[in-house]
Amino acid sequence: MIRSGKLAHKGMGTLNKTAGPGLIFRGEGLTLVLKALGEFWTLLKSGAGMDLKIVMVG
């Protein structure tokens, strides 16, 4: 979905206070979070639950 352009990179963000920053991608009603080295972290529904707690950094 990233390669096809359906998800756009929005920057770095954290899911909670203890987690390090991850790469945030959004689009198609989804939020994809990858670890800093590109490993899968989680896939969330945009605008709901944990997605609302993402804090963008840098």
Per-domain residue ranges of the chain: 8-57
Query: pLDDT of 4-49, one tens digit each?
Result: 999 999 999 999 989 899 999 999 999 999 998 999 999 999 999 9
pLDDT class of 58 with cuts at 50, 70, 90: confident
Using DSSP's 3-state secondary structure scheme, residue 26 falls into: strand
- Taking the model in full, what pTM does it have? 0.93
The dihedral formed by the CA atoms of 33, 42, 54 and 35, expressed in degrees to the nearest 10: -40
Side by side, the strands of the sheet bearing 30-34 are 40-45, 30-34, 22-27, 8-14, 55-57
